Structures are given as structure tokens and as C-alpha cells.
Amino acid sequence: MKRTTVLIVLLLPIMSFSQDLITNTINRNTTTLNGTWHYIIDPYETGYYNYRHEPYDKQTKSDNRAFYKNYHTDDKLELVEYDFDKSQTLLVPGDWNSQNEKLLYYEGTIWYKKSFDYKKSNPLNRLFLYFGAINYKAEVYLNGQKLGTHIGGFTPFNYEISSIVKPKNNYLVVKVDNKRTKEAIPTINTDWWNYGGITRDVKLIEEPQSFVQDYSIQLKKGSNTSISGFIKLNNVLKEEKVTISIPELKVQTTVLVKNDNKIGFEINTKGIHYWSPESPKLYAVNIKTDYQTLEDHIGFRTIEVKGPKILLNGKSVFLKGISIHEENPMRAARAFNDADALVLLNWAKELGCNYVRLAHYPHNEHIVRMADQLGMMVWEEIPVYWTIDFKNESALNNAKNQLTEAITRDKNRACIVIWSMANETPPSDARNKFLIDLVNHTKSFDNTRLISAALETHNKNGVNIVDDKMGEYLDIVAFNQYTGWYGGSLENAPNAKWDISYDKPVVISEFGGGALQGLHGTIKERWTEEYQEYLYQQNLRMIDKIPNISGISPWILVDFKSPKRLLPNIQDGWNRKGLISNNGIKKKAFYILQKYYKNKEHE
Ligand code: GCB
């Protein structure tokens, strides 16, 4: 193998994490805790607070009434008012709403309990407990000891449990609370189902004393021959050598690691087969220390903006996209595995997409990895949605933390080309400050991708205006517009006038309208497939004339559940803007967009 020049840069810790996230858990030595978990529905939080409403886990004296104690007694006289083992079970991963009819609308606390045995393969090894996501707030306890609290429903977190875990009869208890609150991210008001529960994989990760916790391996900004990034070890015992190799490119480099800080590296190479939708090449990359070898599969590509164009690997690209929620419509449930990811992404492929907007929060790692493999560019977003409590410092920290966790998990995925800061947030000084903070935060982690946010337009004297101040801070000016649905005439749409203040690529992050699959009529009848079809035809005619248009992600691939959509016999709890119905049948508008994308291939 060719040795290349090594540049070692000591990167300062960029921010302190609430817990240090372990990345690439898919390729580590793990044991799943997925499966059946016992649960107790606890709307009054009886297992958390005593009758003076003081949390048990903040008391100095241990109290067996706390559900996390999972208390059992042989004393027939003793008062014990809960028993996980006699309670029902739920499947993990999975939302609770879709698993028990009584929980469809439930928003509040549910306690989960899983017992397990665990024998480490080497007694000196360390053990970590990893959750893919829990919506929304999780209090986690193992064998009666609190591990921590996590806030945010769509990002992973982990705890070290080496000193608590036993070979037999461990009991893991998690209090999950999905109540909506004003200061949360997202806030009280959203147009999607507030699925509660342990919604993603749970696993135990066994690691050596000192291990590779995280790394970034990507093409360096501005270069198409230099692969750079950092390696972060956990618990460096002595000076350690870490070798990063990409056998197929015949390159490797070794860095000397002295402490737990991130260590930068750079590898120069030639002959990279760049990742693209047409050819989503992923390279096996090995990270080797004295104690372990960790493998990943990483694609290399450049993504940049030049004036009003988006360039992928130096060539102008049009984002032929579609928006997607993390939901399997056939199960009417949160999506959480490869099979779900395939259903959604194969539909997008069939539509002719090269790009998906994963709205409105970070989706599970399965779909992101699948997009990497299938060659689908991705817009990843955090749930800063509508009217967040922008003046609230803790809301900002919460949003930043969710962004940190999302970027930490996904930064090595070539498919991700855009980080989105927000969706349809109302402009104000407080909002601008909030979003600018998020933009800077993102740049401090990852300067290789583009930054955007779904903004809004307003109309003045018949002209559609995009002048949101945030446009200055974004690489791509994206906005949602609903001509023909929430306002504006479809007939005149193709002649609409546009005034966009920025000479940057423009992406229509949403447009669309609802139709009940199977309902037919004329283009003058709302909810018919014909109306939706006409809406797509006219919007696409209009979009073709928008200056600097560089991509679209219409709203939305498939009908999705929303408690806000109440019209009987039409909506029945579903947002009907899907191009595909909730039972998987394509509506007429699907074929309009498919044809539009097909024609784009010849442009
Ligand atoms: C929007 C939102 C999206 C909604 C959609 C709608 O602008 O961004 O979350 O679901 O409109 O259907 O109204």
C-alpha cells in the first residue's frame, strides 16, 4: 500500500456533548435488545412522583414505589402497586400508537421494562447501551440506577453501563413521555402524528477498554483528491496508533493518538470513483487500532454551490426530489427498519428521483444508509417547525443538541448533501438569531455540505416575493409554496411573477395538494385525483419559469397520518397530499411528476 503524507492537526473539542455518541453502531459488536418489552401506562406519573409530586429519583432515600426499582417481594403483606412482569408487552422498536388501539391518541408517560442477561466476551471490555431514538423524553434506569435523561425524539444516544451490568437478571426501565410542550422541539403544533415510544433499535455495544468512538472521513472541502477528517478514541490508555485504510484505493495513513481529543488527518489519493445517484459507489474503509478494526462503507463526492447552480462532483445537478415522512403507511406506524426504508425509497426511485427530503426531523439510520446504497441524495432536517419558542434559550440548546446528534450520526454518509435548519418558521429578530446560531453551529461541525431551510413566500401586487433575511445565510434558498391549494389560482399559475432577492440556487422544498385515491371528478373539484393532477401540471409549468430553479421536493410521496386532518370520508386522520395512497396505490399526479423527471433526463 502506498504511504501518503500525513497531516496531523489537533482539533479543539468543538462543543461538549451531553453524552459522547458512538457512531457506526451497525458495524460494531452489538447485541440487540429489540423485541418484547413490558409496559405500564402511567398518565399521572405515579411511578415517577411521590404524592407530594416530588420525583423519586431526586430523593436521597430509595423508594420501592418508584417504577424504575422494578420491585418484587415475597412478603404477601407488603403493599406493592405495580408489576411489570404481569403487565402487557409492546414491540421495540415501534411506536405505541399503532400497537394498541387504546394508545392511538395517547400522549403522556409509558414505562418500558426489559430484562436481560449479558456475558462480556472479555471481562475487561466495556459495555454501552444505545437507543436509536425515543420520542420524546426518556429517563433511563438500569438495575435501579439512573443512567440519564434524553430529550428529542429523533436522534440517538448512549450510556456506558460497564459498572452496572451483571451477567444475569439485569432490568432496564425507561420512562418515555411524548407530551407536547410549547418550549419543545418540535413545539405543540405539527402536521404529523406524535408517535410515542421506543421507536428505533435498542442495542448493547461491547467495546475494548480503548476504542474508536467517532470519526469523520470525507472529501475535504474544495478538494476532489484529498480525503480528510478526524478520529476520536475513547479512553486512550497510552499513545496509540490508528490506521485508516481504503484498500480499493490503495491508500492508508497512520496517526498517533495521545488523548481523547479529535485528531485530524488527511490522505491524498487519485482515481476516486465518485459517489453519485447514477453510480453510488461506496468504499470499504477500515479504522484499525491496537485493539480493534472497525469497518464502514463510505462514498466520496463533492457538493457545492456556484452562483445559482448546485454542483455535484463539479457538474450542475437538478434535484429531482420528493418529501417523505418516516412512516410506513401500510402499517400506519413509524418506519424503523430496512424493509420500511426500501418501500419508501423504491417508490421514490420509481418516480425518477435522485433526491429525497427527509421531513421534518432526522429519520432512522436505516433509511439514510439505504439512500447511500441506492444513490439518493438527501436533505436532512431537524424539527424546528412552525412557531418554536425562539426566545427561549433552552429551546435553542435543545435544537442544537438534536442537530449535533444528527450530524454526528450521519456525517459520513455521502448521500446527505443538505442540512436543513428549519421549516416554515415565521421571520422575526428572535427567529433569525435562533436560526443563524444553528447555521453557525452546523458549519462548526461540517463545512462540506450545503445548508438550507424551508422558507416561505409572500405576495405583493401579484408578485411572489422571497426576501426572508435567512436567505443571506443559506447556501440554497428553499421555500414551500402551495399555489392552487392554500391560495392562488391554478389557471394563472404558469404566468406567476417571481421576485427572489438572492442570486443562489432555488429549491421548492414543498408544493402539492390533496386527493383521495379513487375519488374522480373534474379539475374543478377539490380532493379528486384530477384536481391534484391538474395542480401538479400547472405548478410544474410555473416552476420551470422560476429563476435559478435547481430542484424540487413536492409534498409528499405518500399519504401520512395527521391528527389535524379531520374531514370525514376524505381525510379521516390522514393528510391526503400523497402521490400514493396509504394503501400503496398511485394517484394520477404520480405519473405527472414521473414524466416531468423523465423529461429532465434529456435536458
Ligand atoms: C406545509 C408543512 C407540512 C404540511 C403541509 C400541508 O407547509 O411544511 O409539514 O404537512 O404544509 O400539508 O399543509
The residue written with cell numbers 490503495 in the block is 250
Number of helices (H), then strands (E), in the chain: 6, 37
Q: What is the pLDDT of residues 457-506, one digit of tens each?
A: 999 999 999 999 999 999 999 999 999 999 999 999 999 999 999 999 99
| Contact 357 CB / ligand 1 (< 6 Å) | no
Distance 191 CA to ligand 1 centre (A): 6
Distance 193 CA to ligand 1 centre (A): 13
| Contact 424 CB / ligand 1 (< 6 Å) | yes
pLDDT at 11 over 80: no
Run of H or E residues at 592: helix 588-600
For atom 7 of ligand 1, the residue with the nearest CA is: 480
Distance 360 CA to ligand 1 centre (A): 10
Task: Give which of 347, 359, 320 is closest to 543, Cα–Cα.
Answer: 320
| Contact 150 CB / ligand 1 (< 6 Å) | no
pLDDT confidence tier of residue 141, bands split at 50, 70 and 90? very high
- Phi and psi at 539, nearest 5°, equal -65, -40
What's the Cα-to-Cα distance from 301 to each of 58, 179, 283, 358, rounded to whole Å? 49, 41, 12, 20
Q: Is 317 helix (H, G, I), strand (E, B) or coil?
A: coil
How many angstroms separate the CA atoms of 273 and 291, rounded? 31
pLDDT confidence tier of residue 19, bands split at 50, 70 and 90? low
| Contact 191 CB / ligand 1 (< 6 Å) | yes
Q: What is the length of the chain? A: 603
Average pLDDT over residues 313-322: 98
| Contact 575 CB / ligand 1 (< 6 Å) | yes
| Contact 576 CB / ligand 1 (< 6 Å) | no
Q: Is the ipTM of this complex over 0.95?
A: yes
DSSP 8-state class, residue 485? T
Q: Judge whether 366 and 389 are in contact, CB under 8 Å.
A: no
What's the Cα-to-Cα distance from 25 to each of 117, 178, 199, 296, 397, rounded to whole Å? 20, 26, 17, 10, 25
> For the chain, what percentages of helix, strand and coil (3-state, to nearest 5) are there?
20, 35, 50
Percent of the chain exceeding pLDDT 90 equals 96
| Contact 510 CB / ligand 1 (< 6 Å) | yes
> Ligand 1 atom closest to Cα of 577?
12
What's the Cα-to-Cα distance from 582 to each of 105, 192, 564, rounded to whole Å? 19, 14, 16
Q: Judge whether 560 and 579 are in contact, CB under 8 Å.
A: no
Q: What is the pLDDT of residues 169-228, one digit of tens each?
A: 999 999 999 999 999 999 999 999 999 999 999 999 999 999 999 999 999 999 999 999
pLDDT at 13 over 60: no
| Contact 480 CB / ligand 1 (< 6 Å) | yes
How many angstroms separate the CA atoms of 16 and 262, rounded? 12
Burial of 548 (0-12, 13-18, 19+ CB in 10 A): middle
Distance 590 CA to ligand 1 centre (A): 18
Query: Which among 388, 485, 555, 579 is the best mutation to test ligand 1's pocket, defined by most ligand atoms within 8 Å of the CB?
Result: 555
How would you list the strands of the sheet with 211-219, edge to edge? Answer: 9-10, 263-268, 226-234, 211-219
Average pLDDT over residues 139-155: 97
Angular region, 538: left φ>0, alpha ψ -120 to 50, beta rest: alpha
| Contact 577 CB / ligand 1 (< 6 Å) | yes
> Ligand 1 atom closest to Cα of 562?
10
Q: What is the pLDDT of residues 28-65, one digit of tens each?
A: 999 999 999 999 999 999 999 999 999 999 999 999 99
pLDDT value, residue 146: 96
536 Cβ partners below 8 Å, 6+ apart? 512, 554, 589, 592, 593
Distance 542 CA to ligand 1 centre (A): 20
Distance 423 CA to ligand 1 centre (A): 9
